[in-house]
Structure 1
Amino acid sequence: MAKLFFILIFMKNIQVYDPALCCPTGVCGPSVDPDLVRVSALIAKLKKDGHSVERYNLGQQPTEFITNSVVKTVLAEEGVECLPLIFIDGQLVSRGEYPDLSVWNGWLEDGSPEI
């Protein structure tokens, strides 16, 4: 029981609101986007480690961007340049960039997403 409690404390709910993308992996189109490749690998690792991760693409899931009041407000005030928006446990932690692994480790406290 103590192990389950420990795991539940460190599992995070993560939402990533991406700009309009042809695909989230970064390997489609004429050139590879290394940031998207890195983020896709990180998200796969986070899910494998038990974190809840939802990723929304503005071009494919626009409704998700208006149902979250914070996302809707930030988009209205700043435009699509604010994307990606990243939330952890309901708190907006990043806007306008895909942070590097050291930043993610700080957010997750336990340093689990080592790739």
Structure 2
Amino acid sequence: MPHRSRLSGFIIDCNTDDLDAATDFWAQALGCSIADRDAGDGDAEYQMLGDTPGDLHIEVQKVAHPSRVHLDIEADDVNAEADRLEALGAKKIAFVKRWWVMEAPTGQRFCIVRTKFPERGVAWNDWD
């Protein structure tokens, strides 16, 4: 199915009880501001960074699993993008609310999310 996708940004998963302190560290380490301390929805606890390099979407997220960094790919059709990447060898791990958690053939986890700011960010890839 025709759709488009692109690198959205990075999520810094932090196994921590103090999301504010983790966000403060990463904002200072990356030279960014904190755009939204209350960005989480539902059970999600995350904070968005602002003034990011290349206008990338970067979040610091409180998680229960070991700390790591994962990337997000945004798409105007998350199911079509998940199918495309599955055909390349990725595995669908779980559909969570509105996005797919995927695993690359080499084991890295990443997410496919809905487009949030279509006018911002890097150039789009068009897929048939």
TM-score range normalised by the length of the shorter chain: under 0.3
Q: Which has the higher helix share?
A: 1
Structure with the largest fraction of strand: 2
Question: Could you state the TM-score of these two structures normalised by the residue count of structure 1?
Answer: 0.24
TM-score, structure 2 as length reference: 0.23
